[in-house]
Chain A
Amino acid sequence: MTTTTSTPSATQSSSASLAASARFGTFAIVFSLAAPVVYLLCEVLSLPLFTYHPATSRIDFGWAKGRSGEGPAMYWYGWTATMLIVCTVLGWLATLLPDGVVRKIPLALIWLLPILAMIPLAWALYEPFWSKG
């Protein structure tokens, strides 16, 4: 009878070391805290990184109005890109702070902020969609 010994793969060990890293923890917590706030601000203040025009596949930097005869403009891709970039920068900056600073933030905000952000996001849809028909 033979027995085999399993060795953890490179992926598993890198994943485990990432999970054990306090700096990654700080990055992940700040990224996730910032995400709903940054996304909400992007939507409310019209801050897409770029505007995509799907009918013509044209991309404009920043916010751009849909051009006449060229179909609608899409901002969601740009909001998402803005959110990912800003949150990555904020998460990285947080790793430069002293260890205890981020740990003072109440962790419950990570699930509360998304719920709170959904309220104005839903309200913003009332006028263009839910008040009709």
Chain B
Amino acid sequence: MKVSNIFRKSNRVLLRELVSTDFKLRYQDSVLGYMWSVLKPIMLFAILYIVFAKFMHFGVGVPHYAIYLLTGTVLWTFFQEATGQGLQAIVARGDLIRKINFPKYIIVLSSTISALINLAINIAVVLVFAIVSGVQFRLTILLVPLYIIELYIFSLGTAFFLGSLYVKFRDVAYIWEVFMQALFYAVPIIYPISVVATSYPVVAKIILLNPIAQAIQDIRYDLITSQTMTVFNSMNGIFMKLIPFVIVLVVFVGGSAYFKKHSKQFAEII
């Protein structure tokens, strides 16, 4: 899995074919088609908004809490989709792997890119909502793509690791499902992290070290309001601020290395 190989022509062609096939087939025979890419996170958002914002008054005092919540939901959906599909990707294409030799990482790459395209569509929706509800955009909005890239790299590394682990141990799918349930609450999506910070400042800081939480908070900061608590404005010391990024790097390098080591055996095990 040399970096130069990713840009080799035949691999690029394959990647494009796989992604476009995935897109052609994803919402086949559904009346609303691609609309579901947008509707799914919005529906999840609607539920969360009604339950937590309206009934339980979670977002009191947070400016534009609805957009705040929508952003979190959309990013979380991306992470869930990218890792979930990445986990299944190798096994799902087992038939292919047993019969043709081609770079296996392209399978994982294509499934995460599909999720990334969905995210792009959803971010556009978020921007529309933000304009409608009167969010004042600042220049920091230009930083948003950087954090999305960070989140993508983190998801890709995780997908590489899970995808190759799943070939050997099918239990991984169930474990990951439960783990994601727990993670959903460990990431400040429905609750503003400031609520945690007022009563448990240490816990809030630990939560923020998670790259998903850090990225979501940074994107909210850059997009919605500078009142958002981020790893930069709440941590002391450069090392603490860098921890989430180090985690991303470790997960990506470790995940890719694990994938590379095991990808030779995929054809025999699947």
A, B assembled together: no
- Chain A residues with CB under 8 Å of chain B are none
